[in-house]
Structure 1
């Protein structure tokens, strides 16, 4: 089971009567420094994920660094990867252009998070539906990719979109290169050696992603 993070508040007299600030928006993804809903989340360091027992959450790694998350539900997946972004501009317009250059079959459209891409992609000799969503935050960019039936069916996509709306990105204050992955970690304190380490491919659902337990 995942170890969940509960946001703690000081218990001193001056703070006990101080209510948490109300969110300024209806939904996220949230930046860790902005007010967001108070409830338990799975703490992966750079990402705090809503706890949903119906989802199987796995980490994707390159070398010794965890760089992304795969969320599995029924026959579909949601891949998440958070990247560092410049302070002065977002990355989604540029990333979207790169994706369409690699996969011309994808079509642009407007979705609940703004511009997105969707269509059929072919990888490893298999063709499946894919839906790309991007969210620009303060000094970070979150790429979300839905694969499988949920990529073409709004009813099936709804649980993934609700999940995405409650993700919290923890960018940190350290300098990072443009498009550098925001590092993640296992939720357990001591860590467990990883048996399989391969890169996160936003164009493919991969069984090689090691499962968090």
Structure 2
């Protein structure tokens, strides 16, 4: 019996849901997220307690933090999340239109430091992919644009398990032999200490 050809994607770009037709490529499998290979990017896993909750992508002194959150089947989560981030930022962020719709842009002041930040949200079927670009490249299109192209090829694996609204979709290491180093990351909250970060390669 001949193998069935994969269905062609119905959109030009992602991020993709694992259950929808999407381009097949050699991605890094982290469980809840499958990330495209880019030799220019350094990847780290961010953990809270014993759970891996986000990926930090480092490129030219700028970071992209990616986190997939469980969302209701009936509606998207980005509008609510955006409102919460705006309230925390207390006027330091403003809405702008970007490649995925409405984004938040600004410079966040915390602990005496100022850092450019750009928040991107993409609603999928029962998930929200939240991206935070932090650092001087947040508004340098040669850097931010590279991150946007990266996000367009991410695959989100929501799974069928029941999950609370806004719960992080769990991530896992591609293998258990990776060396670990700890660092402090930007965190998804503008003003709270970030999760612990460890190398995954």
Pairwise same-fold verdict (TM > 0.5): yes
Please point out which of 33, 36, 42 is paired with 2:19. 33
Question: What residue ranges of structure 2 are gaps of 5+ in the alignment?
Answer: none
Match of 2:145 in 1: 158
Matching of residues 117-156 of structure 1 within 5 Å: 117-156=104-143
Deviation at 1:180, TM superposition (A): 0.5
Distance, in Å, in 1 between the alignment partners of 2:70 and 2:185 is 18
Range with greater deviation from structure 2 (58-67 or 197-206)? 197-206
Match of 1:110 in 2: 97
For residues 75-120 of structure 1, give each alpha carbon's deviation from its aligned partner in whole angstroms, at most 9, with x where no partner exists. Answer: 1110001000000011100010011111121010110000000010
User: Are 1:47 and 1:170, in contact at CA under 8 Å, matched by a contact in 2?
Assistant: yes
Give the length in aligned residue pairs. Answer: 198
Deviation at 1:154, TM superposition (A): 1.7
Match of 1:182 in 2: 169
CA 1:89–1:191: 2 relative to 1, 3 Å: farther
User: Are 2:94 and 2:105, in contact at CA under 8 Å, matched by a contact in 1?
Assistant: yes
Distance, in Å, in 1 between the alignment partners of 2:196 and 2:158 is 27
In structure 2, the residue corresponding to 1:71 is in which secondary structure?
strand
Distance, in Å, in 2 between the alignment partners of 1:198 and 1:56 is 15
- Work out whether 1:47 is the aligned partner of 2:33: yes
Distance, in Å, in 2 between the alignment partners of 1:47 and 1:162 is 16
Deviation at 1:138, TM superposition (A): 0.3
Match of 1:14 in 2: 2
- Work out whether 1:92 is the aligned partner of 2:70: no
User: Are 1:61 and 1:200, in contact at CA under 8 Å, matched by a contact in 2?
Assistant: no
User: Are 1:61 and 1:197, in contact at CA under 8 Å, matched by a contact in 2?
Assistant: no
Match of 2:200 in 1: 212
| TM-score in terms of structure 2 length | 0.91
For residues 127-148 of structure 1, give each alpha carbon's deviation from its aligned partner in whole angstroms, at most 9, with x where no partner exists. Answer: 0110000000000011100011
Deviation at 1:183, TM superposition (A): 0.2
Deviation at 1:30, TM superposition (A): 0.3
Considering only aligned residues, what root-mean-square deviation do their CA atoms show, in Å?
2.1
User: Are 1:67 and 1:200, in contact at CA under 8 Å, matched by a contact in 2?
Assistant: no
In structure 2, the residue corresponding to 1:14 is in which secondary structure?
coil
Deviation at 1:14, TM superposition (A): 2.2
Asked which structure has the greater CA Rg, the reply is: 1
In structure 2, the residue corresponding to 1:171 is in which secondary structure?
coil
